[in-house]
Every structure is written in C-alpha cells, then in structure tokens.
C-alpha cells in the first residue's frame, strides 16, 4: 500500500524534475544551467555537499564542472580508464562502499571520499560516458529508497543528455573554428599569390607600375562607400589586382610602345580583357563575380567598349566601379604617349565622360570618397596616397563637380 508521505515525496520529485527540465534547457550559460541543475538535485534529496563532474575523454579524467558545499581549490581530477567505464552501470547510483569494491577505486579515486561523496552516479548519454554526479551525506535518511533511486536515474539521464549536447556543441564549435582558420590561411595564401600575379602583370608595363594595386585600392574605396558586403569588397579587390592579367600574352613591345599604336596593335591590346577572363575562369576562385568584373572592365555606358559592347544598365555596379578606377589611374599616371593629367584635369575628364564612358551614380560616389579623403573625414585614405595633389589644388573643384553631378542625377 502506498503511504501518503510516499505520494507527497513522489509529487515533490515530479515537481523537482520539471524544474530540472526547465533549468537544463534555459537560455542561461552552460555553467549556470549546470550549477542550478545540481542545486535542484541536492534540494530534492537534502544533500548539502555535491559535485558535478564532466569527463574529458582526451585526458581520460573526470574534471570538476560545478559543486556545492566545499571549496573547489582542494579538487583533484580523477582518472578513469576505458576498462572502468565498461564496468559502470549507466546512470545508476553507486554507494561509496560499492564503489570501493570496483576496480575503478584507487588512490586517485579516493579523492571522492575527500570530497564527502557518499553516492556516485556515472553519467551516460547514448552509450557515451560524459561525467558523474557525486552526492554527499543526506540530511534525512542516509540511504536511498528504490523509488528515490529511480528518480535519481531520471535526473542522471537528464543531466547526462545536457552534458552530451554541450560537448557535441563544443566539438562542433571547435570544428567550425578550425575550418575558419583553415579558410583564413587559404585566403592569405590566395591573396599573396594574387599580389604576386599583380606585381608580375604590372612589371610588364614600365609606365604603369603598381597600376593593378592602385585600381584595386580605388575600387575597394568606392565599393565600401556604396555599402557593399565584405565578401563582395574582396571580390572587387581581387578583380582590381587581376583585371589586366591577360596582358601577359601581349608583346611587351606593343605595351611599352612610346608612339601611337597601329590598328593591329590596338586590336592586339584590346584582346586582354577576354584573355584575362579565359585565364581566370579556369581557376575555381571563391569570388563568384570576379571573372565577370574582369571581362568587362573596358566596357562603356554608351556601348562603345569591349569585348562585348555592353551598354547602360547591362553593366553591373562592379564593372562600372572597375571601369572608373582603371581609367582614373590611367589618367593620373604618365603614359608612353602623354604626360599624366593633374587631379583637377582628371576629375573634369571624368565629368565630361559621364553617361558615355562612366556611370554618373558611381562617379558621384567616387568623387564623394575623394572629397572625404581630402577633408580628412576617413580613417585611412585609399585613393589620395597614390598621386600627388596638384600644387594649389582647390578642393571646391570636387564640391562643384559633385553638386553638378548630383543635380543631373536628380533631374
């Protein structure tokens, strides 16, 4: 016959189990959740001293996760070998006297006694040993009734699953971090290789040393001002560095010719975006739009560009950015057939080519970045360091141009 006090105890156990269920699944940090879970268990069985141990499978030892009623400074880890794990009954409470008859008990495990353990419960989840609960002396009766042992098993099961999930999560997080690091390393290698390529491309043209590097810098500055995502900024950066890679097949004599190019030489030069595309599209880069940007960096808004004579909105923003970055650098550096333009001259040239060669909206952004850099509003200038401002350059030139472009855009 079931006594009233047994029913009361059972109800208390059920309510405590419900509390435990809520605690282990709450949004608190893992350590806080486990501490509260241990407190719920000690409350259920009137145990003032207890510890929750987690199994470190690499070190093959039980480590202190959380505790109650004693100082953790005195804790020593307990080594548990595979043969001992095999001998444990899963989530079954062991009395200290029973533990002492198990091969698991040795001078190392004597630490259990030192920490007031009277009951030891090895925790298993999905056949994996994940930790243990150590319960000290009870304030009420010293031993556990069968019904209490059953409740303890349920509690142990609950906590074991939580420990297991957390360790899965930790392992997954470690794996993700490991992969992230591998990806970062790979990206660095990529970037180093790409920089080396860019240097090789630029070395071929003695008049445009570091051209690709500067184009990349200008393009990144515009993309950033446009609010592009980091991944897309990286794409335009690499596109800037590699856009002229196709020039490696063109005769250096043609590239460095100091006089006007013949028609055949001009058409030879015009092959380079297609060749850049052909070379890069054979490589599995992590930047989806890279080859598209590179192929079209000589397209124009009026459709007079090459290789595909795209026009207007057929040109993506990336292509428009690269086109202005490339042309602006060409204008502001010496060429075999002409001296470089001053900044004011180059800006007016861009303005005069709006709608025909360049896109007005993207040019507007480019001017704005330049204005910010000249006014010292940006942390790190990306365009300015690459050419000397003309003596007595008047910054209001940009302001006036910007006002004109903005007015034209809103008309």
Binding site for Fe ion (CB under 5 A): 244
Q: How far is the CB of 293 from Fe ion (least distance, A)?
A: 12
Q: How far is the CB of 327 from Fe ion (least distance, A)?
A: 9
| 93 versus 246: smaller Cβ distance to Fe ion | 246
Q: Within 10 A of 192 (CB to CB), how many other CB atoms are there?
A: 10
Return the bridge partners of 78, or none: 62
Q: How far is the CB of 298 from Fe ion (least distance, A)?
A: 6
φ/ψ bin of 282: left (φ > 0), alpha (ψ from -120 to 50), beta (otherwise)? alpha
Q: How far apart are CA 344 and CA 390, in angstroms?
A: 8
| 294 versus 341: smaller Cβ distance to Fe ion | 294
Closest-approach residue to Fe ion (CB): 244
Q: How far is the CB of 253 from Fe ion (least distance, A)?
A: 18
3-class secondary structure, 95: strand
Q: How far apart are CA 379 and CA 397, in angstroms?
A: 23
| 50 versus 201: smaller Cβ distance to Fe ion | 201
| 94 versus 293: smaller Cβ distance to Fe ion | 293
Residue of 124, 136, 48 whose CA lies nearest to 88: 124
| 148 versus 205: smaller Cβ distance to Fe ion | 205
Q: How far is the CB of 269 from Fe ion (least distance, A)?
A: 9
**Would you give the end-to-end CA distance of the chain in angstroms?**
93
| 244 versus 299: smaller Cβ distance to Fe ion | 244
Q: How far apart are CA 340 and CA 336, in angstroms?
A: 10
Q: How far out from the chain centre does Cα 279 lie?
A: 29
Q: How far is the CB of 279 from Fe ion (least distance, A)?
A: 13
Q: How far is the CB of 230 from Fe ion (least distance, A)?
A: 25
CB within 8 Å of 78: residues ≥ 6 apart? 53, 61, 62, 108, 109, 111, 112
| 233 versus 323: smaller Cβ distance to Fe ion | 323
- Tokens 């208390």 belong to 12
């Amino acid at each position: 016959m079931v006594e009233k006090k047994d029913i009361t105890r059972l109800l208390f156990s059920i309510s405590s189990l419900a509390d435990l269920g809520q605690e282990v699944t709450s949004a608190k940090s893992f350590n806080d959740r486990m501490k509260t879970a241990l407190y719920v268990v000690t409350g259920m069985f009137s145990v003032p001293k207890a510890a929750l141990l987690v199994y470190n499978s690499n070190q093959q030892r039980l480590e202190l996760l959380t505790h109650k009623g004693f100082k953790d400074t005195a804790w020593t880890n307990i080594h548990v070998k595979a043969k001992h794990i095999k001998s444990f009954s899963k989530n079954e409470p062991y009395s200290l006297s029973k533990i002492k008859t198990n091969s698991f008990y040795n001078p190392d495990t004597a630490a259990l006694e030192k920490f007031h353990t009277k009951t030891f419960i090895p925790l298993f989840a999905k056949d994996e040993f994940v930790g243990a609960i150590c319960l000290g002396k009870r304030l009420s009766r010293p031993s556990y009734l069968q019904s209490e042992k059953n409740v303890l098993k349920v509690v142990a099961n609950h906590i074991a699953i939580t420990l297991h999930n957390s360790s899965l999560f930790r392992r997954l997080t470690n794996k993700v971090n490991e992969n992230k690091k591998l990806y970062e390393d790979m990206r660095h290698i990529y970037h180093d290789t790409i920089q080396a390529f860019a240097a090789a491309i630029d070395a071929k043209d003695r008049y445009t040393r570091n051209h690709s590097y500067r184009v990349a810098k200008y393009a990144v500055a515009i993309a950033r001002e446009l609010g592009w995502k980091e991944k897309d900024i990286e794409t335009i950066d690499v596109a800037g560095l590699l856009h002229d890679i196709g020039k490696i097949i063109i005769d250096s004599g043609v590239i460095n010719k100091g006089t006007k190019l013949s028609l055949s030489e001009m058409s030879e030069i015009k092959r380079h975006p297609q060749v850049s595309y052909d070379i890069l599209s054979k490589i599995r880069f992590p930047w989806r739009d890279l080859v598209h940007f590179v192929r079209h960096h000589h397209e124009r808004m009026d459709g007079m560009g090459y290789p595909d004579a795209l026009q207007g909105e057929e040109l993506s923003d990336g292509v428009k950015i690269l086109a202005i970055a490339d042309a602006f650098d060409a204008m502001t550096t010496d060429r075999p057939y002409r001296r470089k333009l001053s900044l004011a001259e180059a800006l007016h040239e861009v303005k005069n080519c709006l709608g025909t060669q360049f896109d007005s909206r993207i040019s507007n952004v480019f001017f704005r970045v330049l204005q910010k850099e000249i006014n010292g509003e940006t942390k790190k200038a990306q365009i300015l360091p690459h050419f000397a401002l003309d003596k007595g350059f008047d910054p209001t030139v940009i302001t006036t141009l910007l006002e004109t472009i903005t007015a034209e855009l809103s008309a």
